[in-house]
Every structure is written in structure tokens, then in C-alpha cells.
Structure 1
């Protein structure tokens, strides 16, 4: 029955749209919680988790499935822990949007400067477009458009670097705890988790956390000498990793606010001069000549 149920839970959603992805991930989190509750009650859930093959979230679920099948660990616990990890990821994504919203608004405002320059020319009684659409003015307009394109691509690349910080921080330690619940020793559990992450190409997980000098190994060493429960300790490692992820995200967003000044100064400001200042000066000189 367990194998049949595992086969039902095998594909995940997300779209590329931020809001759509978050909504689908939140729905998936609820489905995981519901499936875990059904398994605890001894019921084979009739409603399987809706997944889409080859997605990032599906690959993580397949890691959980592989560990549960190999070790015989409580699959319901694995589903519940994955739901918690997705909830933390949703919070991190929400925090990232808040941190970047002010930066993006400032970028959009500054990027509109070339248009403001043209409008300013009309407000003072001149016609900058007459200059821009004739003769060498077309070259100014083309150069400004190229500069704006470079500036936009530059800024998008910077914001994408912040987005790449996204991961299921600390979930590797919970996977090790899941494997150990199935009776595997610490070394065996780490190897199993690392193999499952690699074989399923789980982008949101990092095998570096399982290295000999990683946080997981240090906690297991302490638990071995202290004789304390590894489960709670490894979950605390996951919580600490998620806290550090938020700190790293905030630091990256703060640095982005400073770095964004470079493309604005190198691309947007020259574009403003080309479309707003030079045509206005030329139109004024033409007006004086007339």
C-alpha cells in the first residue's frame, strides 16, 4: 500500500511567475500536510499530491521517497518535514520580494528619466522630438535606446543573483534524521541522503552540508558523545540554516541597492542626457536662431 501511495505522489507544479509559483507551492505544502495526516491515521489518501515531473520541488519529494523506501523510515514524518521546509521557503521568497520592492521601484523611476527629459522640453516651450527624429537626432535616440537596454539587462542580472540564493536551507539535516529514523547509522544516513540528492538532481539541496566538516557532521558528533537525541538536534540545525539564509538574503539585497547605482550611472544617466538634455539645448539654440 505504501509503494502504491508513493507512486501517486510524483510530480509538482510551479510556473515561472512569482505569484503563481508561490500560490502553487503553498497549495502543495497543504497537500503534503494532508497526505502526512492520512498516513498517520493509516489511511491511503485518495487525493495524491499534484506534481509536475522534473520540477525543483518534485525532485526534493523524490529524495524523500527514496530515503523512506530504502530505510523504511516513517514517510509521514518526511512529508511533514518537507511541508515545513516549503513553508520556510515561502517566507524567504516573501522577504526577498519586500527587500527588492523598493530597489525595483527606484530603478523604474530612474529608468523613466529619458521620457521625463522629453516631457520637460515641451513644458518649457520647445520640441525635443523634432530634434530627435531628424538627422543626427536619430543617432542620439538609437544610442539612448541601446544604453537603456544594457542598463535593464544589467539590473535584471543583478536581481537574478539575489534570487539564486533560494534553497531549502537546512533540509539536508532533516533528511539525515529521516534516514536515521529508519535505523541507518550516521555515516550510512549521510551517504544515502547525498546519493539521493545527486541521483534526483535536487537543485534546492546542497550536498556540501553533508561534508565531513559540515554542520550536520558536527551535530552528530556531539550527539554521539552526549547520548542525546539526534532528531531534535538536526531539526535545530535546519532552523539555524534558515535563519542564516534570511540574513544572507538581507545582506545581498542591501549590497544590490549600492551596486545598482553603477548601471544607473553608466547607462540610464547618459541616456537621459542624450534624449533629454542635448535635444533640449539644440531646440533652444534653434529657437534663438529663428
Structure 2
């Protein structure tokens, strides 16, 4: 099975292959044909399964094939729980739309809204956004949802956990009732099923892993350690294992800062990322972690 076999256009196949992908992942193989047919989707997908391309590619194809020649109303909206995920999804949208005439942008809080408003007013086909900033911009009349044809909820379970359900329902209330809805979630709690039943119409269920299972490539180890020895033990593991890229989760923002300071004191390059950090600091920490200039990223669950 190739991307061409799934019904994708040569322009999109070319962009995907340039990223080094030749064979679709299971989620892409299952979801793309249904999305191209205009069906609603309820997909169970972990991070790292290729789900972003699974919805981005068919939506871009739909937008490119049905584009209005003169103006660009907002026609596809991707909602994500965090700024970091929004930026990541938009990077993918940009890369995959390289050879089609589609404009996209991303909006989230923590940064100046003025450039976001200017970009939206110049016209975008597909928008990636976090719910809070999106509603602010809608209140400021920077965009309209009246022409939205496709709504994508990415990591819907995280959005529920973070209390975005009211915002999501409010955003949907401004949209046409006739539209395609795509929902992606790593887990399927009763709350997710309830949200899905209110949004999706006769959805096709797409599952790539047993419900609520962990990602295949992850191996688990548990160490029972006294609370007072946790930091010391973490440093020992990092040094002895010669680990060069480590993501550490802490329960609190204070705990993240404290651990980062101790790691740096022990001669290990580290940065913290959490809700009290400015958007600039969060973006810089992620970039440094990706390019290897810091070894350890200490995060609360915003990551």
C-alpha cells in the first residue's frame, strides 16, 4: 500500500515522500480513505502513530480540490490542547501543503495577537489553534467560523482533561451544522464518548491499537525510591546510562524548576517547561531539546 493507492494527489504524495515517508502507517491507511469520502471519524491513536498526517493530508486534498478562486474563508479548523502541539501540527500542515495553493496559520496564547489577527484577515484556508486564544480572536471579529467545512479535534482526551469542553462547544455553536468532524483521542473514557456523540454524525471508528493500550515502542521500568533520594537517583541514572535525550515529568511547576536547578548543578544541561514560563522560553527550551543543545527537558503535563 502506498500513499498514491490511498487516493492522494501527486502534489501531496510528493510532499510526503520528501519527508522520507513511502508507506502509510496503519492509522493513515485506515483513516485517509474515509476522510477523503467526507465521513466523520472517531480515531483511537497514540502520539507517534502518524495521526497528524492521517488527517492533514486528506483535509488538504479536499481544500485544494474545492478552493474558491477569488477569496479564502476559513474552511478547516484543527483544535489542539496545548501551544506546543498546535505549533507542531501547523509545521506538518505547512510541510505537506508545499505543492498545493493552500494558506495556513497557527494561533495560541502567550504571544502578541496583532500579527495573528493580520494573518487571519489576509485569508487562511486551514487554521490550527488552541481553544482559548481562538475564542478571544473570534470575539475581536478577527475570523468567522461560518464557512468551516471540516473540524478536527486532536488529542480530544487531553482537551477534556484541561477543561476545554465549554470552549469547544462554544466554538462549535458558531459553525454550520453541515460539516465533517474528525476526532482523535489516545483514550476513550465515557466523557470522550459523550463529547463524540454530541459532535460526530455516524462516525467510522478507526482503531490502530487495543483500546487504552500504551505505545508499542515504550518499555516500562519502575524504581522504588525514597522521596528524598529521587533527584540523586535520577542524576545517577542519567550519568551512568549516558542518556543524551531525556524527558522528565514532575507533578508541579515548582518541582520542575527545582529538579532543573539540581541537574544543572550536577553538570547536566537541562531546561524546564511549564505554564508559568513565557511562550518564548517554552519554544526555546523545546528547540534546544530537539537539536541536542540540552540533554534533559523537565516538564509538567503541558508538554
| TM-score between the two structures when normalised by the length of structure 2 | 0.21
Structure number with greater Rg is: 1
User: Which structure has greater strand proportion?
Assistant: 2
Q: More helix per residue: 1 or 2?
A: 1
Larger relative contact order (Cα-Cα within 8 Å, sequence gap ≥ 6): 1
- TM-score calculated relative to the size of structure 1: 0.22
